Amino acid sequence: MSLKDTLQNDMKAAMRAKDRERLGTIRLIQAAIKQREIDERTTLDDGEVIAVLNRMLKQRRESIAQYQAAGREDLVAKETFEAEIIQAYLPQPLSDAEIDSLIDQAIAQTGAQSVRDMGKVMAVVKDSAQGRADMAKVSGQVKARLNS
C-alpha cells in the first residue's frame, strides 16, 4: 500500500473517530501533496511524498522554535502535535551506526581519497539515506571522514 493510500485510509478513520485535530493535520499533508502534484503536473511516488513530509516537518520544527521564543505555548502544543503526526508517516530514522556504515560503504564503493571526492560519496549515501537522516549532518560526517 502506498503512502498516499495510507494517508487516505487514516483520514477516513479519523473522520469516523471524530478526531478533529488528527483529521486536520492529515488534510494539511494531503493538501501539500496535492499542491506539489499540481505544480509539477505529475503523480508523486512514495519517495517524493516523503520529501514533502520532511519539508513539512522541518517547517513545524522551525515554527516551534519561534513560538517558544515568543512564549506562545498554545501554538507550540499545536505545532508539536502536527509534527508528531507527520513524523508517524516517515520511515524510521537511521541510527548513527547505520549512517557510519553507509558512509564506509560509499567511500569503499567510490574509492574516495580526499574531500574532492565528497560529491561522489554523497551521491551514493543520498540514495540510501534520503528521508531517513539529516543530510546536512551526514555531509559533515562524510567531510570529517575524508579529511582524516
CA distance 116 to 121: 10
- The reported pLDDT for the residue numbered 23 is 96
C-alpha cell belonging to residue 99:
549512517
Same domain as 104, residue 68: no
Tens of each residue's pLDDT in the chain, 148 residues: 889 999 999 999 999 999 999 999 999 999 999 999 999 999 998 888 988 998 999 999 999 999 999 999 999 999 999 999 999 998 888 888 888 888 888 888 888 888 888 888 888 888 788 778 877 888 888 888 888 7
Same domain as 76, residue 20: yes
Same domain as 32, residue 105: no
Residue span of the structural domain in which 109 resides: 96-147
Q: Give the number of domains in the chain.
A: 2
Same domain as 66, residue 7: yes
Cβ distance 67 to 75 under 8 Å?
yes
Same domain as 80, residue 121: no
Same domain as 133, residue 67: no
CA-wise closest residue to 24 among 6, 11, 42: 11
CA-wise closest residue to 142 among 133, 93, 58, 48: 133
Label residue 48 exposed, middle or buried (CB < 10 Å: 0-12, 13-18, 19+): middle
Cα separations (Å) of 51 from 89, 120, 127?
Answer: 11, 22, 13
CATH number at residue 26: 1.10.1510.10
Q: pTM score, two decimals? A: 0.74
Same domain as 61, residue 30: yes
Same domain as 65, residue 126: no
Cβ distance 30 to 11 under 8 Å?
yes
CA distance 120 to 110: 7
- The reported pLDDT for the residue numbered 27 is 96
Percent helix / strand / coil, the chain, rounded to 5: 80, 0, 20
CATH number at residue 132: 1.10.10
Same domain as 64, residue 33: yes
Same domain as 41, residue 82: yes
